[in-house]
Structure 1
């Protein structure tokens, strides 16, 4: 089974044998790949009960929980990596979730859709409506996305909080794109962070 492109980037950059917490792990696809190919001790936290059941069915250690409230229960530095993939924009307090990720893990991977991508801008400019695209397929009134973060917004937040960026990857569709104009041309961003 092939991973979504942002998950493939994360999987390729997690050190073998690490302890990982995947927050918003969905059905556990990334955790299973890390377990099977990198011998990672992976744990998961997922809000959706159906996804928790699917992940547990894969033999993964996943509990049902909410990133906004349940990360506070994890001890400091209990994981090598805390991962938040395509979930930051759905949390009520993304800044606090980010702080908790970096408290829990020595490193944090964060990936998110870039709401400043040129197609999103064009949809608003020429159509006057929130876009529905292949990567943002749900209408504005039904989307779980409550914070519309951009690459530049995220960079500003981590700089403001004194968080170091160890790596960054940008995707247009399923292909890598450069970082120079990522705020305009990247549909998705992946950051590796460290305190």
Structure 2
């Protein structure tokens, strides 16, 4: 099995064995396979891209094609122990509404996202004056799925304003864990475990 992306590895290691999870924006189901095979999790998925849905189903996963912006409303409250949104929040039209559904559907929610305040992004804008293209943000401004450019501090303020509890948070720099100190500047990705 291919190694998981660092944010997905953190999520996989922290989902309780034997629980249930909905992976929203699950891609080809890499995280779901790890949850199923290593943690005995009843994992379900929702994915927009038809090709990824097909690849996930071929892996024996329960994945349906759907859009996080419109299809989460049909899931009942507390349907899953965990609702997972990995590197998808910044691609949604209404992240505030998606977050409301995420915390309604799951008793706990994992959210991971690229930090657009990372020092390399800042440096690229400062010296080059253009939207950065990096290994973590490999697409150009006009072909990226990212439509909401959030930072660690933006997300911290968002959850505080909404009374969302942060159970745990992990910050990644170059795929390795870094401290919470100056995470808005030092971390290129963030992972939050949340609850109401």
TM-score band, normalised by shorter chain: over 0.9
In structure 1, what is the equivalent of residue 62 of structure 2? 61
In structure 1, what is the equivalent of residue 89 of structure 2? 88
In structure 2, what is the equivalent of residue 2 of structure 1? 3
Q: Compute the TM-score of the two structures, normalised by the length of structure 1.
A: 1.00
In structure 1, what is the equivalent of residue 48 of structure 2? 47
Q: CA deviation at 1:102?
A: 0.2
| In structure 1, distance between residues paired with 2:124 and 2:44 | 39
Gaps of 5+ in 1: none
In structure 2, what is the equivalent of residue 77 of structure 1? 78
Q: CA deviation at 1:58?
A: 0.3
Runs of 4+ in structure 1 over 6 Å off? none
In structure 2, what is the equivalent of residue 104 of structure 1? 105
| Alignment deviations for residues 122-150 of structure 1 (CA, whole Å, 9 cap, x no partner) | 11111100000001000000000000000
| In structure 2, distance between residues paired with 1:19 and 1:174 | 27
In structure 1, what is the equivalent of residue 147 of structure 2? 146
Q: How many residues align?
A: 195
In structure 2, what is the equivalent of residue 162 of structure 1? 163
| In structure 1, distance between residues paired with 2:109 and 2:176 | 22
In structure 2, what is the equivalent of residue 171 of structure 1? 172
Q: CA deviation at 1:67?
A: 0.2
| Alignment deviations for residues 2-54 of structure 1 (CA, whole Å, 9 cap, x no partner) | 10000000000000001100000000000000000000000000000000000
| In structure 1, distance between residues paired with 2:126 and 2:38 | 45
Gaps of 5+ in 2: none
In structure 1, what is the equivalent of residue 194 of structure 2? 193
SS in structure 2 at match of 1:115: coil
| In structure 2, distance between residues paired with 1:140 and 1:186 | 21
Q: CA deviation at 1:180?
A: 1.1
SS in structure 2 at match of 1:12: helix
| In structure 2, distance between residues paired with 1:156 and 1:95 | 12
Q: Compute the TM-score of the two structures, normalised by the length of structure 2.
A: 0.99
